[in-house]
Structure 1
Amino acid sequence: MEIRTAMEKPPKEESTAPAGAQNPSHLFGGVDSISSLPDEMLHHILSFVPTNVAITTSVLSKRWRHVWCKTPYLSFPHINSSIESIRETLASYIAPKITRFHLYVDRETWEDSERSNHVDSLIKFAISHNVEKLSLVLKPYYVFPDFFFSNPSLKQLIVDSSNYLRPKCIVSWTSLQNLSLKNSSLDESFTRVLSGSPLLESLTLKSCLLSCLDLSESPRLSRLDLEFTHSSPRKCHIVAPHIHYLRLIDFTQKYSLADVSSLIEADIETIYFLPRFWCDQVDPSKDLDDPSKDPDVPTKDDYQVMMQMMLEKLQNVENLTVGLSFLQMLSIADFRGVRFPTFKVKTLTLKSTILRSAVRGIAKLLQNSPELKIIKFYKTEDWNCSVEKYVNRCLDPQDPQDLIFPAKSAFKVAKPDLVASFMELFLRNTRTLETLVLQLKSCLNTSNHDELSQIALTLSHKYKVSIVLKL
């Protein structure tokens, strides 16, 4: 047994390993526990680092010399390497199959690649190795070749590229389960993608240009994640009768949820300035009948119809998550007379802060949810002072209940009586509630935690509801 004192240095060994690629035996007191692992375990370890880093392990020992070139995980993130150097790397790759392949091509790398044929060759390499998870970030304009749309082994595809994903050929992604597109332009040819992906279960579209999304012919697709931005068209028609889960972010555009009849879980949020924009539309000082007004810009009536339709589509949801801006829009909708349906929500999650502009929306949502069992409130910092001003201007300034809550800005530390009033807002407006969870983070000072805990205990006994406070 070899014993060394704390100050004694180990024998010096000759090594050509670059900085950061130390022999694993030095890390475990002379015992190379990592190198003794089977290849599958080493490949899993290397899957957490870019391929250029994984290659440096080949100098550690004979055991590591060929480990990297057999790993089924290849990753070429945003680095200064040229596409030619990536191709040279792949020339040494000897594994028969790729499980995961990630490629990032920025504009500079693109300009050095002599047009798109080099990028084509990298994608073709991954497809020829029956890649299952393909992730592409292509910053410049890129036209996907026909062979890209034929890959029976592909199970997950992530594409972030300012391009037109409009296949002119037959799409054959017969194993694809998860598809995520960002910054893509879609048109009616997107139906080819859907019809060529019969096993598709999850679809994510972020900042994509589309005017109609018809998922009626995708019976396995149960999860839909949509994020609309300013670059999106003014109108979007969504037909998704089979989805069980919907995440919908941003209402800046006119859209319609034509059919989400199977929906049981939803996460809905607008961007923070939309309530202010709606308030501008309902401002009586503005001339909404001006003939010069852009007909594609949503008006007061457009937003009220949109909110009415949205609420109707959410009435069968059992697990609902909403944010501050959406709650502010609910407050305006209630004040403007929008009819709220009866919801079947059993678990309600609120990502908001304690502000007057959200109170009316929260109360109305609770009153119309007679089956509610669990409320989870997560304190966020997502607020905007100017938005609060505009929303509060559209509400009843004489409502004594609303005046309890702050109206101008967020707070760093909430006083116990304010939090107590907020808890009572939930408890007074529900009849079937069993559990209330408040995660207040930094706004709950540890010095008054005991006082607030006692208040929560009193309210818990009074309303027969379990109350959980989290810092």
Structure 2
Amino acid sequence: MASPIQGVDFISSMPDVILHHIVSFIPIKLAIITSALSRRWRHVWCGTPCLDFDRYDGAEAINQTLNSYRAQKITSFDLSMSECVPEPQIDSWIEFAMSRNVEKMSLSLSGFVDEETYRFPDSFYLSSSLEELWLDFVMIPGCTVSWKSLRRLTLCETKQSLADILTGCPVLETLELLDCGGVQRLDLTKSPTLTRLTVFLGQFHIIAPHIRYLKLTSTKEQCTLVDVSSLIEASLAICLEANTYGYSSGNYLGAGDYLPLQNMVLKMLAKLQNVKKLTFGSTFLQDANLARCLDSQGLDPNQCWRSKLYEAFPTSADYHYDFSRFSSKLVASFIEMVLKNAKTLETLTVALKHIRYRGAGKCFKELLQMHPTLSNNNNVSIEFRRLVFSSMFYLV
């Protein structure tokens, strides 16, 4: 029995800064419970650098926590609302975090705060410590934005222009726009440090000459790549199938949506001719005959597929993915097109996941049988792998 007691004494004898670091890995609710361990632990939680308030925390509980909080520096502050509270109350919480030089902040207020009347306090837009911001609420600055250290910005359902915001982020590296339908012109010309862009739903004209990574997920919305001249890696998850379930809107694509989306993707391919890594979603491969479509649009496949490294992922993160529609002939036709047009291709690896789904095993066996006839180029090595939880094409 002596060892456990000594172990407890040893931990309790650690400096406060170490104990604060330890409790920072657990939610603030659990951190507060540690105060019951002993007199030594009674106020340890008050110095943890991380504060997280989820939708189950009421205003009273949040106020009690902040009133007892003693740390002068907050590294992470997460606030997710599940009830309507007075706007001055929200201001006080945000101002509290900003006064403690918060580095990472996440605010989810949509649905519980009036977007027509509420505006963030000016202190929210003035920070030299903020490095990461995740925001699910409208942002209309009433002052000049100055986020001198912000490197990652994630916005959800934003409807206003981003020009004034981006101007105040001189070192921004990553921008994520999630269902921001109101932002139509995305000009990142004046953001030379911004190299990673993620767009989930929304209609955009993207002018981003400095980005090196692009992830685009879309359904009906038309997205135009105006300038992505520095792009090295791109991921396109664009639904082309008529009557395919929309990602978050609950709408279905009609037959009239198919051709415009297909044309949009083909134009994107022309802009992506110099990328080294390209990722396609499953619906794109299932519903687009690429070789025929490229030719019908007057696009030269050699220009669209001349990169040294390409990857195509015929997969889906959705749990309801139907593998029965994913045929070996479809995979083979895509491989043949790439082999024909990717002039510098050295190695192609086909790895199928969701093997447990109906039709997946059969597809894999058929591909193995097709292997000798897939490539007419003896310089290309084709490898087949059967994976349980990962599915992709690797083309090197």
TM-score interval, normalised by the smaller of the two chains? 0.7 to 0.9
1:198 & 1:153 partners in 2: Cα distance? 13
1:429 & 1:74 partners in 2: Cα distance? 60
1:202 aligns with 2:174: yes
1:158 aligns with 2:134: yes
**Which residue pairs with 1:52 in the alignment?**
29
1:276 aligns with 2:239: no
**Which residue pairs with 1:178 in the alignment?**
152
- Map 1:95-244; keep pairs closer than 5 Å: 95-106=71-82, 109-110=83-84, 113=85, 115-140=86-111, 141-142=114-115, 143-145=118-120, 146-161=122-137, 164-187=138-161, 190-209=162-181, 210-228=183-201, 232=202, 235-244=203-212
Equivalent pair of 1:103/1:135 in contact (CA under 8 Å) = yes
1:224 & 1:431 partners in 2: Cα distance? 38
1:337 aligns with 2:296: yes
Equivalent pair of 1:266/1:319 in contact (CA under 8 Å) = yes
**Which residue pairs with 1:246 in the alignment?**
214
Code of the residue aligned with 2:359 in structure 1: it is F
Equivalent pair of 2:353/2:389 in contact (CA under 8 Å) = no
Cα drift, residue 314 of structure 1: 1.4
**Which residue pairs with 2:320 in the alignment?**
none
2:346 & 2:11 partners in 1: Cα distance? 49
2:135 & 2:377 partners in 1: Cα distance? 44
- Relative to structure 1, the CA distance from residue 321 to residue 424 in structure 2 (aligned partners, 3 Å threshold; closer, same or farther) is farther
- Which deviations, in whole Å up to 9, do the C-alpha atoms of 1:198-250 show, x marking residues without a partner? 1000001111122111111100000001111xxx4xx4211111000111112
SS in 1 for 2:285: helix
Q: 1:318 aligns with which of 264, 276, 282?
A: 276
How high is the TM-score relative to the length of structure 1? 0.69
Cα drift, residue 349 of structure 1: 4.3
Cα drift, residue 84 of structure 1: 2.4
> Where in structure 1 are there 5+ consecutive unaligned residues?
4-24, 279-296, 383-408, 445-465
1:429 & 1:236 partners in 2: Cα distance? 40
SS in 1 for 2:65: helix
2:341 & 2:211 partners in 1: Cα distance? 24
**Which residue pairs with 1:455 in the alignment?**
none
Equivalent pair of 2:332/2:367 in contact (CA under 8 Å) = no
1:440 aligns with 2:387: yes
Higher CA-based Rg: 1
- Map 1:69-80; keep pairs closer than 5 Å: 69-79=46-56
- Relative to structure 1, the CA distance from residue 236 to residue 55 in structure 2 (aligned partners, 3 Å threshold; closer, same or farther) is same
1:373 & 1:367 partners in 2: Cα distance? 12
Q: Once superposed, what is the RMSD of the aligned Cα atoms? A: 3.1
Provide the identity percentage: 36
**Which residue pairs with 1:11 in the alignment?**
none
1:265 aligns with 2:236: no
SS in 1 for 2:146: coil
1:173 & 1:43 partners in 2: Cα distance? 27
SS in 2 for 1:49: coil
Cα drift, residue 357 of structure 1: 4.2
Cα drift, residue 182 of structure 1: 1.5
1:414 & 1:438 partners in 2: Cα distance? 14
Equivalent pair of 2:46/2:71 in contact (CA under 8 Å) = yes
Code of the residue aligned with 1:217 in structure 2: it is K
1:249 & 1:342 partners in 2: Cα distance? 21
Cα drift, residue 419 of structure 1: 3.5
Code of the residue aligned with 1:438 in structure 2: it is R
Equivalent pair of 2:205/2:225 in contact (CA under 8 Å) = yes
- Relative to structure 1, the CA distance from residue 186 to residue 437 in structure 2 (aligned partners, 3 Å threshold; closer, same or farther) is farther
Q: Which moved more, 1:177-186 or 1:336-345?
A: 336-345
SS in 1 for 2:189: coil
1:420 aligns with 2:396: no
- Relative to structure 1, the CA distance from residue 166 to residue 174 in structure 2 (aligned partners, 3 Å threshold; closer, same or farther) is same
- Relative to structure 1, the CA distance from residue 364 to residue 267 in structure 2 (aligned partners, 3 Å threshold; closer, same or farther) is same
1:84 & 1:421 partners in 2: Cα distance? 66
- Map 1:316-465; keep pairs closer than 5 Å: 316-331=274-289, 334-335=292-293, 337-338=296-297, 339=299, 340=301, 341-352=304-315, 354-355=326-327, 356-381=329-354, 410-411=358-359, 413-414=361-362, 417-421=365-369, 423=371, 428=375, 432-434=379-381, 436=383, 438-441=385-388
- Relative to structure 1, the CA distance from residue 318 to residue 169 in structure 2 (aligned partners, 3 Å threshold; closer, same or farther) is same
Q: 2:38 aligns with which of 61, 64, 67?
A: 61
1:180 & 1:65 partners in 2: Cα distance? 36
1:169 & 1:204 partners in 2: Cα distance? 23
- Which deviations, in whole Å up to 9, do the C-alpha atoms of 1:102-144 show, x marking residues without a partner? 11111xx22xx2x211111111100000001001111324433
- Relative to structure 1, the CA distance from residue 337 to residue 121 in structure 2 (aligned partners, 3 Å threshold; closer, same or farther) is same
Cα drift, residue 174 of structure 1: 0.8
Code of the residue aligned with 1:96 in structure 2: it is Q
Cα drift, residue 66 of structure 1: 1.8
